[in-house]
Amino acid sequence: MQTRYVPNLTGIPETMLWTLHNRAGEAKRPDGILKDAEAVRIYDAIDYDFEKSFGRAEASHAVRAVETDQAIRAWLASHPDGFVVSLGEGLETQAQRLDNGQLRWLSVDLPEAIAIRERFLTPTERLRHSPVSALDRAWMEQVDASKGVFIVAQGLFMYFEEDEVRRLLVDIAERFPGAELVFDTIPRWFSRQTLKGLRRTRAYQLPRMPWGINRDEVEATLKRWEPRIARVDLQPYAFPRGLHRLIYSALNQTPWVKERVPSLVHVRFAERGA
C-alpha cells in the first residue's frame, strides 16, 4: 500500500491545501460544477486533516476555478499556442484541465510549493515550473510572449501589500503589452479581519491578507496605477447550490453590500503604441 504524503506546510503555502480541499470536494460531487480527476487524485494522496483545518468542503474555490477556466479557454480559442503564466499556483491543476496540446504553461510558486507540486505533477517541455516568488521578476524571463500571454493569479494578490500589487501590475503592462490578467480580490473589511487574526476553524487561522479592495474601487484604482489598461471586467461569485447560492445572490443584488464581497477581475492591457 502506497504511503500518503505528509505536506508539513505553514503560513501562506498551506493555503494551497485549502483550495485543493474545496476543488476536490466539488469534483467528487455527482452534481459538481468542476470536473477535475487530477485534483481528486492529489487530494486522496495527501495525509492531512483537511476538515479539521478548513471545515467541510464548499464550492468557493471551485467557482473561482471554473470562471477562470472559462476566461482562459476563450483566450485560447484565438491563441491556441499562447503562453499562460499561473502565479502562486500551488496544487491547482488548471493546466491539466485546459491543455489543448499546444499551449505553453508556466507555474510560478515558492520553492517549497513547487517541490510539493512536483511530487504529483511532473513538468514537461510545455508545462513548466518556476520555483520563485511571483514578486521575483525572474519568471518574466521564462515567458515567450510571441503568441500572446495570459496571466492568472488565483488566491494570491490579497497576500501582498498594495504597493507590491501595483508595481507588479505596472511591470506586467510594460513587459507584456496586449496580455490579459485574471485575479481575485477580497473586500477591505475582510482584509482588516485577517490582520486582526481571523480563524477559519479552531485549528486554523488564515494568513494575513493586507490587500483588500472594494468592488466599486477596482477599475478606477487599476487604471490610475496603469494607464495602459484597456479594459477591466468584474465577475461576482455565483455559487451553484444551497445556502451559499441564496446568500451571494442576495448580496450581489443589494446596493452598497454588493461592492463589499469578493470578485474576479479580468484585465486586458493595451497593445504597445495603442
As a whole-number percent, the residues of the chain with pLDDT over 70 amount to: 98
Contact 47, 117 (CB under 8 A): no
Contact 108, 139 (CB under 8 A): yes
Report the pLDDT value the prediction gives residue 238, as an integer from 0 to 100: 79
Q: Taking the domains of the chain in order of start, what are their residue ranges?
A: 63-269
Report the pLDDT value the prediction gives residue 274, as an integer from 0 to 100: 63
Per-residue pLDDT tens over the stretch 170-211 = 999 999 999 999 999 999 999 999 999 999 999 999 999 999
Residue 103 binned pLDDT confidence (cut-offs 50, 70, 90)? very high
Report the pLDDT value the prediction gives residue 2, as an integer from 0 to 100: 63
Report the pLDDT value the prediction gives residue 173, as an integer from 0 to 100: 97
CA-angle at 120, arms to 70 and 28, nearest 5°:
55
- Which has more pLDDT, 89 or 241? 89
Architecture of domain 63-269: 3-Layer(aba) Sandwich (3.40)
Long-range contacts of 242-248 (CB under 8 A, 24+ apart): 244/58, 244/59, 244/60
